[in-house]
């Protein structure tokens, strides 16, 4: 993950705005560039909700098509990523409603930093595997909250915009999701996990 800086966030949003202006002027290469910039995260968000590669790819594609159709309505003073990831989130939720119930929730390939000091003696791969197993015990809602906040470093306000839930409710849901993840890890690892907060 690249280091966070306010300047990089501003520059990223300015780049998105420039691409949007070019797209609205009819430049198809700008649309390809915008897709290229956001396709990985769009897929990741959809996959965390759907837990199925092909359906996640389809939901991400649907989200790009919906966003393309709605670009004229996009408020260019807003952050593009928040607006777009809400579209992805809703596309994935729509696909999830149409999906047959499946076993398991998601595979997380990087959440090792949430493990406490008492687990530091475990190898990183083992920690990731343990977290992946624990995440499978959580609801799609819990996985989404943890993914957006910890992996994608979205603020509570951005998550609220993406999900359509108030920031205060997001805070509560995130707290409960962390607690359920900690409980799942405690169950799985016993005494090795002390506290995830």
Query: In whole angstroms, what is the distance from residue 61 CA to residue 136 CA?
Result: 25
Domain count, the chain: 2
Residue 126 host element (H or E):
helix 124-135
Average pLDDT over residues 4-23: 70
What totals of helices (H) and strands (E) does the chain contain, helices first? 8, 0
Q: Tell me what pLDDT residue 10 has.
A: 52
User: Which of the 8 DSSP states describes residue 154?
Assistant: -
pTM: 0.53
Nearest to 24 by CA among 90, 89, 71, 91: 71
Same domain, 118 and 175: yes
Q: What CATH number corresponds to the domain at position 68? A: 1.10.1740.10
Query: pLDDT of 54-93, one tens digit each?
Result: 999 999 999 999 998 898 888 888 888 888 888 998 898 8
Query: pLDDT of 91-114, one tens digit each?
Result: 988 888 776 544 333 334 334 433
Same domain, 77 and 53: yes
Task: Report if residue 104 sits inside a domain.
Answer: no
Query: pLDDT of 129-185, one tens digit each?
Result: 777 788 888 888 888 888 888 777 788 888 888 888 898 999 999 899 888 888 888
Task: Report if residue 106 sits inside a domain.
Answer: no
What's the burial of 117, exposed, middle or buried (CB within 10 Å: 0-12/13-18/19+)? exposed
Same domain, 90 and 123: no
Query: In whole angstroms, what is the distance from residue 178 CA to residue 175 CA?
Result: 5
Domain span at 118: 112-192
């Amino acid at each position: 993950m690249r280091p966070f800086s306010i300047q990089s966030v501003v520059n990223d949003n300015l780049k998105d705005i420039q691409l949007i202006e070019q797209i609205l002027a009819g430049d198809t290469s700008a649309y390809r560039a915008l897709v290229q910039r956001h396709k990985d995260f769009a897929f990741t968000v959809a996959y965390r909700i759907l837990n199925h590669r092909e359906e996640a790819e389809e939901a991400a594609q649907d989200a790009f098509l919906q966003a393309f159709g709605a670009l004229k309505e996009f408020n260019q003073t807003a952050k593009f990523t928040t607006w777009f990831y809400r579209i992805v989130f809703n596309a994935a939720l729509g696909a999830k409603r149409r999906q047959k119930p499946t076993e398991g929730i998601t595979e997380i390939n990087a959440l090792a930093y949430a493990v406490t000091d008492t687990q530091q003696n475990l190898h990183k791969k083992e920690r990731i595997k343990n977290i992946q197993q624990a995440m499978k015990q959580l609801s799609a809602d819990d996985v989404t909250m943890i993914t957006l906040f910890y992996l994608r470093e979205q603020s509570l306000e951005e998550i609220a915009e993406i999900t359509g839930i108030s920031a205060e409710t997001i805070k509560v849901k995130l707290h409960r999701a962390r607690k359920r993840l900690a409980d799942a890890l405690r169950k799985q690892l016993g005494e090795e996990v002390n506290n995830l907060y």
